[in-house]
Amino acid sequence: MDAGTEPIPSPPGLPLVGNLRDIDSTAPIQSLVRLADQYGDIYRLNIVGRTAVFVSSHALVNELCDEKRFKKNVGSVLKQVRNGVHDGLFTSFGAEEPNWGKAHRILTPAFGPLSIRNMFDDMHDIASQLTLKWARQGPLEPIHVTDDFTRLALDTLALCAMDYRFNSFYTKEMHPFIRAMGGFLVESGNRSRRPPLPSMLYKRADLQYEADIATMRAVSDGVLQTRKQQNPPSSRKDLLAAMLAGKDPRTGETLDDDAITNNLITFLIAGHETTSGMLSFALFDLLRHLEAYQNAQKEVDNICGKGPITVDMVNKLKFVPAVLRETLRVHSTIPAIGMTALKDETLAGGKYAVRAGEAITLLLAKAHLDPAVWGDDAREFRPERMLDDNFARITKEHPNCWKPFGNGSRACIGRPFAWQEALLTMAMLLQNFNFRFDDASYQLRVKETLTMKPDGFFIRAQLRNGLTPTLLEKRLSGSSSETGSGNRTPTLDKEAALTSTTGQAISIYYGSNSGTCEAMANRIAADAPAHGFHADVLAPLDAAHPNLPKDRPVIIVTASYEGEPPDNARLFVNWLSSLKDDASATKGTAYAVFACGHRDWAQTFHKIPKLVDELLEQCGGERLVPMGGTDAADGNMFEDFETWEDGVLFPALKKKYGGQDVEGGALSSLTIEITTPRASNLRQDVREAIVVAAYPLTEGGSARRMHLEIQLPSDIKYSAGDYLAVLPFNRQASIMRTMRRFRLPWDAHITVHAPKGSDAQTNLPINTPLPAYGVLGAYVELGQPATKRVSFVLR
Ligand code: HEM
Ligand SMILES: Cc1cc2nc3c(=O)[nH]c(=O)nc-3n(C[C@H](O)[C@H](O)[C@H](O)COP(=O)(O)O)c2cc1C
């Protein structure tokens, strides 16, 4: 013990095994929380000769979140998980392993707001599968909530990460990968608790363990190699694509195949139980708190109505996110995180000593209930306290009081992914069902594996408002137009934006890891000509160091990451910070700053843009307009940005530099071309005509005959004997039936390949992917009875 410190309380232990028997191996976290109730906010255990410290008050957790003094500890279970995924992001020892930094920098953009938004359609696909399953099972069937949410989380991850379908909702048997991963995780836990007995005793378990690892790696590697060999290369923008194409901005290196496989498996491991646990607890909490349930459902009804749910709707929800935050506070699915001191340290103002390298566990399951932060009703589920403003206030007043996604540089990279998926799923379920407990007397039991989840929790789901499974299917599948391109934020072509040279020049810089600020900077450049300006520079902020233009206005759009600059703004921010005592260093530079951030990073919200804005003024620059800003949590980033651009930035620039609005001056790389590919797939001498009148000639009972008047193109004449072809336009019900028959998801695309070298005589579009819905709707005849040969092929 260090001089002047007190001993850390410790339960009495037994010889050799120490406190091993104080811990129930099937529910270790619950044992640790009970020990905290008994021994206080900090205690030390001795487990078979190794000591570990456990803390559970907010004050101590806050102290331990200081990454200058402490770092993540890869504990005994994670060390075992390393057998399967080596130095993948979750299990890596951190900065000391180069692959961690490399993967972290390459993958951060892939989890940025734009990328996650673009995954919405895939998430919608899998959430629809879950919703339809529950609808088709009917209200009498008990639903094993956690199992189905695990299917959802795994299938969503596999589809969004690597375009792979486990199809867990369609098969009774689990996919071999999922079976292997389950076995691998359970055995990793078992191995971490094994008494030190000869390895012969574990031979069978060890063999199975090795086989499970081999299965997981073979599946991931297969997906990776298939993608690499795809010709023409895949145009998908998923996590695998980011890993294959991404270059580390610091070293210029790429990830090798091994690192890609490690991280693909890591995402599946890190993301499935955590997300499934959060959703399961959220549904449990809502069912136990009917007022909150009704509020959440009312909000979903108001925002999403009865139609297909879009990403913009999900981003407008306020109460449902509060439900998820409160769920993660009361039931952290990762209930503890491990830290260790970088050097010998004292805690609580010098009261307790801990040694460098000693395991310190932050018991979030208890710290999240600290009355010092959350008040006397800390144990109660009250989503209202987590509504945006309150949440921002509490997390600002009590830094690090809500840590379900971990800490600092080792915090969860998949958080925005899990958040969007969970909000969409909750919204879709509340929109379409009323839920009740299968057993009204169910008392929450918590099952501990690597994460926490409700045990034996069953519900029943009744479709709302007279919906039937068939109607529901239509409602869900009607979403293609709303959730397709309309959700994507247009990116503008940089070169096009820089071609204009008329009007006053402006220089535009961005600090951006995942593309949002860059897209906004592009937008300013593209819009400038319409206001009588042109962009002569459009570049990352680092390009502006160590010289900022003084002869033209400078516009800066930047984000922050854990309070640090984005990767392409580090040099600039360092340089600017070094000038802070020189009141004339940026004299003559007129500037405007726009800030992107996320208020969940309460301590460092907009930190870098604010710093840049202040430093530029401090060093003699001229602030043209007050800093503008937006919060990714609100989901209106581009709306906020446009309001600032049109209402503040350009008016101020025009006032100072005399720019004039130019009609038609706006540049956009997006142009619209309307084509009728069906017509162009016909023979060249075939033309389309218009039906101008159609009415029945017969009355009910007799065979139906129609009078049709057809207007030909003006340069075409019809002679008796000329062909008139009627092209199909199939009913929605027939199209949907066909899609079901072939198990096509609503957003499937079809490419019809002609045999190489053949001159295929067909009206079908060849070698180009088209939505299956369109092909079945307008290219093939579904109304005719199938011929014998067709029936034979379909059998
Ligand atoms: C509600 C859902 C989730 C929760 C509560 C959660 C929680 C956490 C926590 C607490 C950590 C830090 C662990 C530690 O300090 O040892 C973490 C790290 C991580 N999570 Fe998540 N997670 C969730 C979803 C996801 C998803 C969906 C993915 C993948 C798409 C993911 C990928 C990761 C990775 C790769 C790390 C390691 C990051 C690093 O150290 O660089 N997580 N997560
Ligand atoms: C790992 C991580 C850390 C973040 N840290 C902060 C932060 O400290 N302060 C803040 O305001 N926003 C923070 N954000 C939010 C981003 O700044 C925000 O999403 C921004 O729009 C990203 O811009 P970009 O896409 O141009 O990189 C963080 C986001 C991530 C993924």
Return d(Cα 432, Cα 429) in angstroms, integer. 5
Centre of ligand 1 to C-alpha 518, Å, is 26
Q: Is 69 left (phi over 0), alpha (psi -120 to 50) or beta?
A: alpha
Asked whether the predicted pLDDT for residue 308 surpasses 80, the reply is yes
Give me 85's structure tokens. 């995924």
Mutate to test the pocket of ligand 2, among 560, 568, 607 (most ligand atoms within 8 A of CB): 560
Centre of ligand 2 to C-alpha 137, Å, is 41
| Atom 43, ligand 1: residue with shortest CA distance | 412
Asked whether the predicted pLDDT for residue 14 surpasses 70, the reply is yes
| Atom 3, ligand 1: residue with shortest CA distance | 274
What average pLDDT does the chain have? 88
| Atom 1, ligand 1: residue with shortest CA distance | 275
Centre of ligand 2 to C-alpha 470, Å, is 42
Architecture of domain 1-86+335-403: 2-Layer Sandwich (3.30)
The total of other beta-carbon atoms located within 10 Å of residue 147's CB is 15
Nearest ligand for residue 85 CA: 1
Q: Give Cα separations from 635 to 305, 562, 564, 596, 640 (angstroms).
A: 19, 20, 22, 12, 10
Asked whether the predicted pLDDT for residue 683 surpasses 60, the reply is no
| Beta-sheet pairing, 554-558 with 504-511 | parallel
Mutate to test the pocket of ligand 1, among 412, 423, 453 (most ligand atoms within 8 A of CB): 412
Which of 304, 412, 517, 619 is flagged as catalytic? Answer: 412
Q: Which residues line ligand 1 (CB under 6 A)?
A: 72, 89-90, 104, 157, 266-267, 270-271, 274-275, 278, 333-334, 337, 404-406, 410, 412-414, 417-418
| Atom 12, ligand 1: residue with shortest CA distance | 406
Per-residue pLDDT, 677:
65
Which residue, among 270, 403, 377, 382, has the nearest Cα to 327 in the 3D structure?
382
DSSP string computed for 642-687: HHHIIIIIHHHHHHHH-----TT----S-------HHHHTS-TT--
Which residue, among 581, 301, 292, has the nearest Cα to 431 in the 3D structure?
301
Which atom of ligand 1 is the closest one to the Cα of 417?
Answer: 27
- Contact by Cβ (8 Å): 476, 310: no
The total of other beta-carbon atoms located within 10 Å of residue 48's CB is 12
Is 412 assigned a catalytic role?
yes
199: number of CA atoms within 13 Å, CB side? 2
Asked whether the predicted pLDDT for residue 495 surpasses 90, the reply is no
Query: What is the distance of C-alpha 21 from the center of its chain?
Result: 41
* pLDDT-derived band at 259, boundaries 50, 70, 90: very high
Architecture of domain 494-657: 3-Layer(aba) Sandwich (3.40)
Asked whether the predicted pLDDT for residue 374 surpasses 50, the reply is yes
Phi, psi of 452 (to 5 degrees): -110, 140
Per-residue pLDDT, 682:
61
Placement of tokens 């506070």 in the chain: 329
Asked whether the predicted pLDDT for residue 787 surpasses 90, the reply is no
The single-letter code of the amino acid at 619 is C
Is 274 assigned a catalytic role?
yes
Q: Where are the beta strands (DSSP E) in 161-233?
A: none
Asked whether the predicted pLDDT for residue 493 surpasses 50, the reply is no
Largest CA distance in the chain: 110
* pLDDT-derived band at 479, boundaries 50, 70, 90: very low
Mutate to test the pocket of ligand 1, among 100, 164, 273, 274 (most ligand atoms within 8 A of CB): 274
Which residues have a Cβ under 8 Å from the Cβ of 97 and sit 6 or more positions away?
Answer: 87
Which atom of ligand 1 is the closest one to the Cα of 364?
Answer: 10
Return d(Cα 353, Cα 344) in angstroms, integer. 8
Nearest ligand for residue 412 CA: 1
Which atom of ligand 1 is the closest one to the Cα of 334?
Answer: 10
Q: What is the three-class DSSP state of 62?
A: helix
Per-residue pLDDT, 499:
57
| Atom 26, ligand 1: residue with shortest CA distance | 271
Per-residue pLDDT, 333:
95
pLDDT in tens, 687-717: 778 888 888 887 766 677 888 888 888 778 7
Which atom of ligand 1 is the closest one to the Cα of 103?
Answer: 41
Is 91 assigned a catalytic role?
no
Per-residue pLDDT, 401:
98
Q: Where are the domains of the chain?
A: 1-86+335-403, 494-657, 671-778
- Termini Cα distance of the chain: 78
From edge to edge, which strands make up the β-sheet containing 50-55?
A: 42-47, 50-55, 359-363, 336-341, 70-72
Which of 150, 274, 361, 586 is flagged as catalytic? Answer: 274
Which atom of ligand 1 is the closest one to the Cα of 328?
Answer: 5
Asked whether the predicted pLDDT for residue 492 surpasses 70, the reply is no
| Beta-sheet pairing, 452-454 with 446-448 | antiparallel
When pLDDT is averaged across residues 664-682 and rounded to a whole number, the result is: 57
Q: Write out 214-238 in H/E/C secondary structure.
A: HHHHHHHHHHHHHHHHCCCCCCCCC
Which of 129-133, 293-297, 631-635 comes out lowest in average pLDDT? 631-635
pLDDT in tens, 111-127: 988 899 999 999 999 99
When pLDDT is averaged across residues 292-307 and rounded to a whole number, the result is: 93
Per-residue pLDDT, 133:
96
pLDDT above 90 coverage of the chain, percent = 61
Which atom of ligand 2 is the closest one to the Cα of 518?
Answer: 26
When pLDDT is averaged across residues 515-529 and rounded to a whole number, the result is: 90
Return d(Cα 312, Cα 309) in angstroms, integer. 8
Nearest ligand for residue 414 CA: 1
Cα three-residue angle 767-770-772, rounded to 5 degrees: 120
Per-residue pLDDT, 673:
62
Give me 202's structure tokens. 């574990």
- Contact by Cβ (8 Å): 732, 111: no
Which residues have a Cβ under 8 Å from the Cβ of 265 and sit 6 or more positions away?
Answer: 84, 85, 88, 181, 216, 217, 220
Nearest ligand for residue 104 CA: 1
Q: Which residues line ligand 2 (CB under 6 A)?
A: 111-113, 512-518, 559-563, 566, 596-598, 601, 604-607, 632
* pLDDT-derived band at 485, boundaries 50, 70, 90: very low
* pLDDT-derived band at 494, boundaries 50, 70, 90: low
Asked whether the predicted pLDDT for residue 66 surpasses 90, the reply is yes
Return d(Cα 140, Cα 250) in angstroms, integer. 57
Q: Where are the beta strands (DSSP E) in 22-138?
A: 42-47, 50-55, 70-72
Which atom of ligand 1 is the closest one to the Cα of 410?
Answer: 40
Q: What is the three-class DSSP state of 49?
A: coil
- Contact by Cβ (8 Å): 354, 342: no
